[in-house]
Amino acid sequence: MNSKMKVAFICVHNSCRSQIAEALGRHFASGVFESYSAGTETKRQINQDAVRLIKKLYGIDMEKTQYPKLLSDIPPVDVVITMGCNVECPYLPCKQREDWGLNDPTGKSDEEFEKVISTIDMKIMELRVLKRYGL
């Protein structure tokens, strides 16, 4: 079989939504596609609320395997998914592109974070099914 499809989750700062999507993509869909995240600017660390909640909800410690990355830090990808940047989303060449239109929960309540995490979880599951069947 060919090598797995590469999916990049892109946001401006690569500190919250795109990191969550990378973590859940690795967790739930690593048999179907490789997950990466990146941005045009980076923060010093992954959003600490995201780190805490992903650890609580899924037992995943994002800081062990992930860090904020620039677009130039990831390999060429097949699919680009932008998180809903509310500004000009970064551009990466790819075969397929979509925008998930997610609001940034940074600085908001755990409840707001958990809504975004739940939406990302659902979208990762949908993407896993679509890519498994070559759609």
Return the H-helix or E-strand segment holding 48. Answer: helix 48-58
| Domain limits, the chain | 5-132
CA dihedral 11, 12, 13, 17 (to 10 degrees): -20
Q: What homologous superfamily is domain 5-132 in, according to CATH?
A: Response regulator (3.40.50.2300)
Burial class of residue 87 in the structure, from the number of CB atoms within 10 Å of its CB (0-12 exposed, 13-18 middle, 19+ buried): exposed
End-to-end Cα, the chain, rounded Å: 17
Q: How many Å is the Cα radius of gyration of the chain?
A: 14
User: pTM for the full model?
Assistant: 0.94
Q: What pLDDT does residue 77 have?
A: 96
Q: How confident is the model at residue 12 (pLDDT cuts 50, 70, 90)?
A: confident
Q: What pLDDT does residue 90 have?
A: 62
**β-sheet bridge partners, residue 70:** 39
pLDDT, one tens digit per residue, over 105-130 is: 999 999 999 999 999 999 999 999 99
Q: What pLDDT does residue 1 have?
A: 44
pLDDT, one tens digit per residue, over 22-56 is: 999 999 999 999 999 999 888 899 999 999 999 99
Q: Which residues contact 117 (CB under 8 A, 6 or more apart)?
A: 20, 24, 50, 53, 54, 57
| Mean pLDDT, the chain, integer | 92
